[in-house]
């Protein structure tokens, strides 16, 4: 069977994820939905725009295309930057029939998406993800947001794009550390939802690290498929979708306690996944050997299982404030075996403390 070039997200507003397509072909692809002359605002960051904007713009000659860039920092995912971009959208003549395109990683996608959700009460939005994390994770599922001093992604919306346009070649310029952030999410997808993907990662780890064409593409396609399946079953995170938080309750607490310095998101997710494995093993869900395989997989991609410099009591306290908690109970996602995970609301503080102690050195 030929590899499909498109995966459909089934939701209230379904949308396609186009795979292995070229940036320069997007404009022509949109001919059936965009009238000639439509205003298109591409939101990006300087380095990404320098690398890829021209390729994208070459295909948009029939439209009135504008570029708005903002500095390359997570802190820019803010209301202040949203206001600046709003002014640029007005100056570009973007009207209700316009289109906002996010050309970049998750920061660009979240911010541009929130702009699209709010500008004139909503204009069309399209994601062109250029990091591995954005391709396998953040561009899929319709979550858009900005940060607030009181919390990360505190202001947000479910605002699905009209499409996701995934050009794998944009990853050629992505530094290894950023690749690792995406690999952490891919291992997570495999652990929570696709044992076949996990075996693929084990079998082709070297090819993946070497970014070998066919293997690389297959890994991304299969990782995307896990996320698509889950968000299609539960668009608004009423149930199933919470499974995607595997490793994240621990990881977010760690990132936050460390002040988002000295640890990448991928490292946080990796350590968090290991911590969740420890609890799952103690509860008798996960076999010793499965836990070892998960830890090995993360290690092969250079992702850590341990960290120093944080205090388990402080981390526990941070987990109490997690916005994903429900009815005062901590919601923790635990792997049941490789390929399946479940939500748990009965992890005691002692169990969480012990799990932290396993990963803290």
Which residues in this chain contact ligand NAD in the complex, by CB under 6 A?
Answer: 45, 47-48, 51, 72, 74, 77, 104-108, 110, 130-131, 133-134, 137-138, 141, 143, 153, 170, 173-174, 178, 181
Helix (H), strand (E) at residue 172: none
Q: For ligand NAD, which is the closer residue by CB, 145 or 286?
A: 145
Cα 218 from Cα 214, distance rounded (Å): 6
Shortest spacing between CB 26 and ligand NAD, in angstroms: 16
Cα 103 from Cα 56, distance rounded (Å): 9
Shortest spacing between CB 29 and ligand NAD, in angstroms: 20
Residue nearest to ligand NAD (CB): 106
Shortest spacing between CB 91 and ligand NAD, in angstroms: 23
Ramachandran assignment for 13, one of left (phi > 0), alpha (psi -120 to 50 degrees), beta (any other): beta
Q: For ligand NAD, which is the closer residue by CB, 88 or 110?
A: 110
Q: Smallest Cα–Cα separation from 41: which of 56, 24, 28?
A: 56
Q: For ligand NAD, which is the closer residue by CB, 49 or 277?
A: 49
Q: Which phi and psi (to 5°) does residue 14 adopt? A: -65, 150
Q: For ligand NAD, which is the closer residue by CB, 221 or 265?
A: 265
Q: For ligand NAD, which is the closer residue by CB, 227 or 278?
A: 227
Q: For ligand NAD, which is the closer residue by CB, 39 or 78?
A: 78
Shortest spacing between CB 256 and ligand NAD, in angstroms: 12
Q: What is the CA radius of gyration of the chain?
A: 20
Angle between helix 213-233 and 195-203 (nearest 10): 160
Cα 25 from Cα 283, distance rounded (Å): 51
Q: Smallest Cα–Cα separation from 226: which of 21, 37, 7?
A: 7
Neighbours of 326 (CB within 10 A): 11
Q: For ligand NAD, which is the closer residue by CB, 207 or 260?
A: 260
Q: For ligand NAD, which is the closer residue by CB, 52 or 63?
A: 52
Shortest spacing between CB 328 and ligand NAD, in angstroms: 25
Cα 179 from Cα 181, distance rounded (Å): 5
Q: For ligand NAD, which is the closer residue by CB, 211 or 353?
A: 211
Cα 69 from Cα 165, distance rounded (Å): 19
Shortest spacing between CB 168 and ligand NAD, in angstroms: 10
CA distances from 201 to 135, 136, 196, 310 (A): 17, 15, 9, 31
Q: Smallest Cα–Cα separation from 129: which of 174, 64, 70, 77?
A: 174
Shortest spacing between CB 143 and ligand NAD, in angstroms: 4
Query: Using CA atoms in the order 9, 13, 18, 23, what is the torsion angle rounded to 10 degrees?
Result: -150
Q: Smallest Cα–Cα separation from 247: which of 355, 107, 85, 161?
A: 355
Ramachandran assignment for 352, one of left (phi > 0), alpha (psi -120 to 50 degrees), beta (any other): alpha
Shortest spacing between CB 304 and ligand NAD, in angstroms: 17
| Tokens describing residue 252 | 């977010």
Shortest spacing between CB 197 and ligand NAD, in angstroms: 18
């Amino acid at each position: 069977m030929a590899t499909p070039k498109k995966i459909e997200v089934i939701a209230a507003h379904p949308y396609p994820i186009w795979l292995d397509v070229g940036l320069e072909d997007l404009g022509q692809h949109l001919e059936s939905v965009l009238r000639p002359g439509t205003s298109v605002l591409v939101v990006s960051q300087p380095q990404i725009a320098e690398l890829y904007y021209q390729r994208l713009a070459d295909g948009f000659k029939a439209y009135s295309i504008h570029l708005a860039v903002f500095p390359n920092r997570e802190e820019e995912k803010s209301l202040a930057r949203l206001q600046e971009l709003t002014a640029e959208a007005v100056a570009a003549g973007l009207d209700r029939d316009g289109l906002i395109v996010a050309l970049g990683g998750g920061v660009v996608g979240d911010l541009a998406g929130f702009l699209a959700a709010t500008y004139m009460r909503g204009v069309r939005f399209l994601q062109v993800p250029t990091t591995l994390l954005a391709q396998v994770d953040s561009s899929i599922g319709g979550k858009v947001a900005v940060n607030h001093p009181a919390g990360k992604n505190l202001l947000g919306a479910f605002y699905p794009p009209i499409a996701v346009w995934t050009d794998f070649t944009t990853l050629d310029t992505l530094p290894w550390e950023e690749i690792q952030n995406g690999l952490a999410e891919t291992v997570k997808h495999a652990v929570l939802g696709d044992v076949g993907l996990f075996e693929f990662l084990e079998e082709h780890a070297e090819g993946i690290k070497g970014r070998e064409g066919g293997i690389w593409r297959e890994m991304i396609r299969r990782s995307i498929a896990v996320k698509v399946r889950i968000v299609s079953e539960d668009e608004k995170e009423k149930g199933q979708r919470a499974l995607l938080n595997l490793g994240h309750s621990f990881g977010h607490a760690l990132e936050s306690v460390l002040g988002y310095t000295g640890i990448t998101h991928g490292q946080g997710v990796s350590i968090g996944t290991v911590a969740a494995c420890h609890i799952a093993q103690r509860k008798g869900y996960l076999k010793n050997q499965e836990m070892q395989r998960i830890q090995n997989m993360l290690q092969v991609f250079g992702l850590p299982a341990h960290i120093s410099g944080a205090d388990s009591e402080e981390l526990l306290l941070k987990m109490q404030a997690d916005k994903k908690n429900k009815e005062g109970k901590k919601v923790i996602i635990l792997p049941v075996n490789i390929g399946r995970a479940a939500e748990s609301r009965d992890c005691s503080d002692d169990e969480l403390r012990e799990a932290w102690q396993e990963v803290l050195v």
